[in-house]
Amino acid sequence: MSQGSRKAVVTAMVANGAVTIIKFITALAGGSPSMMNEAVHSLMDTLNQGFLYRGLSEAERPADQTYAFGHMQKKYLWNLWSAIGLFSIGAGLGLAHAWHAWHDLGNGQEPALVEIFGIFFDPLGLGLVVLGIAFVIEGYSFLIASKEFLAAMRRDNAGNPFRYLLRSNDPTLVAVVLEDSVAMLGLSLAMAGIGLTAVTGDAAWDVIFSALIALMLGGVAFYLGSLNMRFLADMRDREAEAAFVKVTAEHPEVERYHDLRSIILDENNTVLVAEIELREEAIVPGLRGQIEREAQALLDEVPRRRRDSAEVRDYLETRAAVQSTLKRTERIIDELEARLREVAPRVTHITIEVEGIAGGAVPPPAKSE
């Protein structure tokens, strides 16, 4: 599990849990639609962090007989459930509450004073105070998430935070940053709604801004859902494929590659498969000498009484040819894999198949020709 993602998720979960409690108490006591939608917003955020944390924990499980490459993609599944389920539910509940509050406008009821520990408060003023407290708590969570996000940007040599938000390979961290950003914006909208209601005496402002908060939750649900769907749909790792193309072009014994494919498991693990053709002029020269040395080594292991057997020598020469060729190709594959992991460390599973030797079977002309 990414330590940056873990820290951001845990901080956000604790902060949102505390804010949810005080928002619900204030919303139920004062009857503010904006405060109620903000309470629902914070509750969805808290549950969402729990889903994200569960996804990160599941992703740490090693490979087994059922999941050959590990459980990394379960992280995106939990993120997807969180985005589509929790945020969609939150948006729906928020819009429903705003709708009912709109129809209850003008019923002539004045908001009653709220009693807390024997002290009476104006519900609008209390709402603004609670939102201010929530702003401080969620602001701290936003600060932690932003630091981790900026650190990830520096690791990936990214300069534009908005562009990185769209192309980051860590949807969990993106989700926390986006949720904290939306939480801060939601608090601002709720403050605006309650403040305008207090100044103008018109409760419609509170209802309008509560509906905006609900719509904002729906927008977050759509974006996070589409973001995680990309990683659950066997998305290719274009950067890893470009690195492989570069590595094969630099290798003196590789002529060309075929059927290059990749799958992103998560931000730290990519599977890459490809076929290569070896360069004739780099492979064939010197191979005969290697075969002869290999055959001699095999012959030295045979008892002396059998070394003169034509059948034994023919077998050993054939085996030496196969063995030498395999060793040569294995060395090339090992070099390609090592170099690829050096330039693209997240490529953790590599399968390279040698398709053959490029070029025809006609030997080069003799020097006298």
Per the domain annotation, does 31 fall within a domain? yes
Q: Looking at the structure, tell me whether residues 139 and 180 fall in a common domain.
A: yes
Q: How far apart are CA 7 and CA 12, in angstroms?
A: 8
Q: Looking at the structure, tell me whether residues 250 and 225 fall in a common domain.
A: no
Residue 369 has pLDDT above 50, yes or no: no
Residue 1 has pLDDT above 50, yes or no: no
Contact 75, 55 (CB under 8 A): yes
Q: How far apart are CA 273 and CA 353, in angstroms?
A: 8
Structure tokens at 45: 């955020």
Q: Looking at the structure, tell me whether residues 186 and 264 fall in a common domain.
A: no
Looking only at the bridges linking them, the beta strands covering 114-116 and 119-121 are: antiparallel
Each residue's pLDDT tens digit, 166-218: 777 777 778 788 878 877 888 888 888 878 887 887 888 888 888 888 888 78
Query: What does the pLDDT read at residue 122?
Result: 64
Q: How far apart are CA 219 and CA 45, in angstroms?
A: 14
Mean pLDDT of 83-95: 74
Single out the residue of 292, 277, 285 nearest to residue 329, CA to CA: 277
Between 136 and 114, the more confident residue is 136
Q: How far apart are CA 267 and CA 171, in angstroms?
A: 9
Per the domain annotation, does 363 fall within a domain? no
Q: Looking at the structure, tell me whether residues 64 and 26 fall in a common domain.
A: yes
Q: How far apart are CA 250 and CA 257, in angstroms?
A: 12
Each residue's pLDDT tens digit, 282-336: 677 777 777 777 777 877 777 877 777 788 778 878 887 877 778 888 888 999 9
Per the domain annotation, does 366 fall within a domain? no
Residue 348's contacts (CB-CB under 8 Å, 6 or more residues apart) are 268, 269, 270, 271, 341
Single out the residue of 200, 249, 215, 163 nearest to residue 40, CA to CA: 215
Query: What does the pLDDT read at residue 117?
Result: 52
Single out the residue of 173, 211, 209 nearest to residue 190, CA to CA: 209
Query: Which of 232, 254, 285 represents a domain boundary (last residue)?
Result: 232
Query: What does the pLDDT read at residue 30?
Result: 66
We report the CATH number of the domain holding residue 168 as 1.20.1510.10
pTM listed for this prediction: 0.61
* Domain that includes residue 92, residue range: 3-232
Q: Other CB atoms closer than 10 Å to residue 286's CB: what's the count?
A: 10
Residue 192's contacts (CB-CB under 8 Å, 6 or more residues apart) are 205, 209
Query: What does the pLDDT read at residue 106?
Result: 63
Single out the residue of 352, 66, 47 nearest to residue 217, CA to CA: 47
- Per-residue confidence band for 248, with pLDDT thresholds at 50, 70 and 90: very high
Per the domain annotation, does 368 fall within a domain? no
Q: Looking at the structure, tell me whether residues 279 and 133 fall in a common domain.
A: no
Query: Which of 179, 200, 232 represents a domain boundary (last residue)?
Result: 232
Most confident of 22-36, 96-110, 114-128, 336-350: 336-350
Strands (E) located in 194-298: 254-266, 269-278
Q: How far apart are CA 73 and CA 107, in angstroms?
A: 52
Residue 228 has pLDDT above 80, yes or no: no
Query: Which of 203, 232, 261 represents a domain boundary (last residue)?
Result: 232
Q: Looking at the structure, tell me whether residues 255 and 193 fall in a common domain.
A: no
Structure tokens at 105: 């406008």
Q: Looking at the structure, tell me whether residues 242 and 227 fall in a common domain.
A: no
Structure tokens at 349: 């599973």
Q: Looking at the structure, tell me whether residues 200 and 286 fall in a common domain.
A: no
Q: How far apart are CA 335 and CA 173, in angstroms?
A: 34
Per the domain annotation, does 159 fall within a domain? yes
Task: Count how many domains the chain has.
Answer: 2
Q: Looking at the structure, tell me whether residues 158 and 275 fall in a common domain.
A: no
